[in-house]
Structure 1
Amino acid sequence: MLDSSPRREGNSWALAQALGKGAEEAGHTVDFVRLSDFVRSPLDDCRECRLSDGSCGITDDYERLLFDHVLPADAIVYATPLHWYGMTGRLKSFLDRFFCYTSASSPHTAEVVPGLMHKRAAVLISCEESYRGATLGLEAQFQELTRYLRQDLAGIVVGVGNSRGEVERDPARPLEAAADLGRRLGDAHVTDYRLDTDRPNRVWGPPVEV
């Protein structure tokens, strides 16, 4: 669970806590991580800051975050407030710096690339605008990011609120939606068809007789 908000105990954190509770109810172990505790630098020019063996030369705890928390996980939950109609700078830096560990010049590529792929993913967005279009650009970005990483995007929950904890008052009940997504995260049915995909006629399988 990656919370990228610079504000502690904010609305995106409340959404993350709700999803985590649902996931724990389903029997999953949840690892809560605040990106601000690990990521303190954006991506730099790799031609200037790579070490002699090709390793990343940025001196923060990003590598520990990646190897100790992200790669071992079966699923990743990206939690972010809406900043200028996009994700937080901290989360963008986290994603940008995948490059340092997946490029051909990195000594970690063979471990990191397969470790990032084939995970379940979920996105939690808090914002103060109820206008539906406010988060659509970010939602589309996550759809493409997870597709590129070959992660199955199980769902996106948007909660409206500004003051700390205000998302709880959103009449759309995003905390309940986040908890439900957490319960379903491990086995949510994700479909993303191509023209040549071998698929049955039914999305949900045969009808269940009662």
Structure 2
Amino acid sequence: MTPDRPRRLLILVASPRRNGNSAVLAEAALRGAQDAGLDASLHFADDLMQTFLRDCRDCRDEHGRCRIDDGYADFFFEHFLDADGFALASPVYWYGMSSQAKAFFDRMFCYVARSYPDSQRVRERIQGKRVALLTASEEMYPTIALSLVNQMQEYARYTHSQFVGAVHGQGDRRGSVAEDRHGAMAAAEALGRQFFERPHADYHVDSVR
């Protein structure tokens, strides 16, 4: 981040439903971020990816570049790497994240693997972001989204990033998370508004306290 620009928050909706519960939570986070003066934007995974990860040994061209010709590469280089924060909005599908969400992370391998010519620069730019999770499901019990939280936490650990929050909302109809009685909408807005201000602590045995 340069001193003369606001911090950039990228929100990705990894649901096939444009007006589904994941999108409703993402829009709430976007409102909060914009209220705080952040450079925030919302995107849909279906606009970026038309396929899953392939075998890079067969897929790369003679210069080591990925041959998958959809919108992922442009989004990854022009938006994701430049972002200071990343919030993923995913429904809970089969007690895990959606296939679109998983594919988004899987496709990063095309550019962080050493077979990609500029992988060192990509690995440097992928690190140190703030990340967060927004999830929605029909069911409502404390650990319903635990596997998604765990995966985001491990992603943050692996990339030396900071996992700053997770919001879960319940909705059994399209968009009905807006009626969530546990405050999911307010929590999503607060997450967006406080995205770069929330304290983060990840202690180790040798941490100074």
The structure 1 residue matched to 2:146, chosen from 128, 136, 156, is 136
Q: Is residue 116 of structure 2 the alignment partner of residue 109 of structure 1? A: no
Distance in 1 of aligned mates of 2:30 and 2:17 = 19
Distance in 1 of aligned mates of 2:132 and 2:67 = 30
* 1:137, distance to aligned residue in structure 2 (A): 1.6
Aligned-residue CA RMSD in angstroms? 1.0
Q: Residue 61 of structure 1 aligns with which residue?
A: 71
* 1:78, distance to aligned residue in structure 2 (A): 0.4
Secondary structure of 2:143's counterpart equals: helix
Amino acid at match of 1:42: F
The structure 2 residue matched to 1:195, chosen from 167, 182, 205, is 205
Amino acid at match of 2:27: Q
Secondary structure of 1:30's counterpart equals: strand
* 1:58, distance to aligned residue in structure 2 (A): 1.2
Amino acid at match of 2:65: S
Distance in 2 of aligned mates of 1:129 and 1:28 = 33
Contact residue 31 and residue 69 of structure 1 kept, 8 A: no
Contact residue 75 and residue 121 of structure 1 kept, 8 A: yes
Secondary structure of 1:57's counterpart equals: coil
Q: Residue 96 of structure 2 aligns with which residue?
A: 86
Q: Is residue 161 of structure 2 the alignment partner of residue 151 of structure 1? A: yes
* Structure having the higher Rg: 1
Distance in 2 of aligned mates of 1:162 and 1:17 = 18
Q: Residue 4 of structure 2 aligns with which residue?
A: none
List structure 1 runs of 4+ shifted beyond 2 angstroms.
none
Q: Is residue 83 of structure 2 the alignment partner of residue 73 of structure 1? A: yes
Q: Residue 12 of structure 2 aligns with which residue?
A: 2
Q: Percent identity?
A: 40
The structure 2 residue matched to 1:49, chosen from 32, 53, 59, is 59
Amino acid at match of 2:191: L
Per-residue Cα deviation, 1:53-83 (whole angstroms, up to 9, x for no partner) = 1111112111001011101111001000111
Q: Is residue 185 of structure 2 the alignment partner of residue 175 of structure 1? A: yes
Per-residue Cα deviation, 1:92-134 (whole angstroms, up to 9, x for no partner) = 1110111110011101212211211111111000111012222
Residue correspondences, number: 199
| Unpaired stretches in structure 1, ≥5 consecutive residues | 200-210
Amino acid at match of 1:39: M
Amino acid at match of 2:167: V
Secondary structure of 1:179's counterpart equals: helix
| Unpaired stretches in structure 2, ≥5 consecutive residues | 1-10
